């Protein structure tokens, strides 16, 4: 995993889909795919009274330490909420905090 290359690619793919609109909540969803051993990034739009839209941005492979560095760089680059799914019971290596505090119902 090359953090700078992955970060640049995520931001480049994110920019064409972001349109500043009122009554729309935006978030980046990070999912853990245990079958392919990858971490997937999605751009989610939550407009009020409309359907949710999810756009795939990028998939990366690597360790949790590398993912943590990429997520920290992403937090500093964009001002979106980050949501995590599929990380139940896993902790960040540097701070020992739970990645996903509450398990999603679908998991």
CATH number of the domain to which 54 belongs: 3.10.20
Percent of the chain with pLDDT over 70: 94
The H or E element containing residue 67 is helix 64-77
Strands 81-85 and 24-33: what pairing?
parallel
Domain around 21: 3-85
- Average pLDDT (75-79) is 88
Measured between its terminal Cα atoms, the distance across the chain in Å is 26
Cα four-point dihedral sign 57, 59, 64, 65? negative
pLDDT at 39: 95
Query: What is the token pair recorded at 5?
Result: 């290359």
Residue 40 located in a structural domain: yes
Residue 50 located in a structural domain: yes
Number of structural domains in the chain? 1
Instruction: Kindly state whether residue 97 falls inside one of the protein's structural domains.
Output: no
Confidence of residue 71 (pLDDT cuts 50, 70, 90): very high
Tens of pLDDT, residues 8-51: 998 898 888 777 777 778 889 999 998 999 999 999 888 787 87
pTM of the predicted structure, to 2 decimals? 0.85
Across the chain, the runs of DSSP E, i.e. the strands, are: 24-33, 38-47, 53-60, 81-85
Query: Nearest CA to 32 among 44, 24, 40?
Result: 40
Q: What does the block give as tokens for 69? A: 């560095």
What average pLDDT score do residues 54-66 get? Answer: 92
Q: Which pLDDT score, from 0 to 100, does residue 106 have?
A: 56
């Amino acid at each position: 995993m090359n953090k700078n290359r992955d970060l640049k690619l995520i931001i480049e793919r994110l920019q064409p889909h972001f349109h500043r609109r009122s009554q729309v909540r935006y978030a980046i969803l990070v999912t853990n795919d245990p079958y392919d051993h990858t971490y997937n990034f999605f751009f989610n739009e939550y407009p009020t009274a409309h359907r949710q839209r999810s756009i795939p941005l990028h998939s990366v492979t690597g360790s949790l330490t590398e993912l943590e560095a990429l997520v920290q760089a992403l937090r500093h680059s964009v001002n979106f909420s980050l949501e995590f799914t599929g990380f139940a019971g896993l902790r960040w290596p540097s701070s020992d905090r739970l990645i996903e505090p509450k398990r999603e119902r679908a998991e």
